[in-house]
Amino acid sequence: MKIIRLLSAGALLAISLFAADLSGTWTGEVKLPTGQGLPFVAHIKQDGNKVTGKLDGINGAPDVEILNGKIEGDTITFQGVRKINNADVKFNYTAKPVGDTLEFKILREDGQGAPLGSVTRRTGN
């Protein structure tokens, strides 16, 4: 019985995070396969189940607009296009809440490169 109550409390905590507005600045780091860390900053604006905003550019690159952003259940998904070697490369971003963080998985849409991730914390409104 205690296990059921504990599981129910955990589910309610996850639901309550998404019931709250996720708008704000979420900051973390992406570790590349080489071991190099790059800053990952997402400026998220939530309107119901729709997500818009931008990702900070890396190393002087332009900011990236959040495209097709949505929340379904406990998952945020969106896309963004970054310039890499003068080519537009589309990335798919998926995030789930874990405690007071959003854990991102980042995949190139063309399947090249290793999957990346970032654990972010809200650092601003």
Give the tokens for residue 8: 């129910």
The pLDDT of residue 17: 45
At 6-40, the pLDDT tens digits run 444 444 444 444 457 899 999 999 999 999 999 99
Owning domain of residue 18: 2-124
**20 against 71, higher pLDDT:** 71
Write down the pTM of the prediction: 0.82
**Mean pLDDT (whole number) for 30-57:** 96
The pLDDT of residue 6: 43
Average pLDDT, the chain: 88
Name the CA dihedral angle for 54, 57, 62, 68, rounded to a multiple of 10 degrees: -30
Total count of domains within the chain: 1
CATH number reported for the structural domain that contains residue 10 in this entry: 2.40.128.120
- The beta-strand segments (E) located in 1-125 are 24-31, 37-47, 50-55, 64-65, 67-72, 75-84, 87-98, 101-108, 116-124
**Mean pLDDT (whole number) for 57-84:** 95
The pLDDT of residue 19: 57
pLDDT surpassing 70 at residue 100 = yes
The phi, psi pair for 87, rounded to 5°, reads: -120, 145
